[in-house]
Amino acid sequence: MKEMKKMKIVIVGCGRVGSTLAQNLDEDGHDVIIFDIRTGAFDRLPETFKGSAVRGDGTDEEVLRRAGAHGADIFLALTEGDNRNIMAAQVATENLAIPRVIAKINDPVRAAAYAELGVVTICRTNLMVHEIATYLDLTVQTGPGIDTPQTPGHKHPHPSTALSAVRSAIAPAEATRPVEPDAPAATGNEPAPTSTADGARVRRLGFRRWQS
The tens-digit pLDDT sequence of the chain (212 residues) is: 556 689 999 999 999 999 999 999 999 999 999 999 999 999 999 999 999 999 999 999 999 999 999 999 999 999 999 999 999 999 999 999 999 999 999 999 999 989 888 889 999 989 999 899 999 999 888 888 888 876 543 344 444 444 554 455 444 444 444 444 444 433 333 333 334 444 444 443 443 344 43
**Which of helix, strand or coil describes residue 120?**
strand
Contact criterion met (CB below 8 Å) for 33 and 73: no
Class of domain 8-180+187-211: alpha beta
Q: What is the domain partition of the chain in residue ranges?
A: 8-180+187-211
Helix axes 108-116, 124-135, angle to 10 degrees: 120
Give me the long-range contacts of 45-48 (CB less than 8 A, separation at least 24): 45/14, 45/19
176 vs 188: CA distance, rounded Å: 19
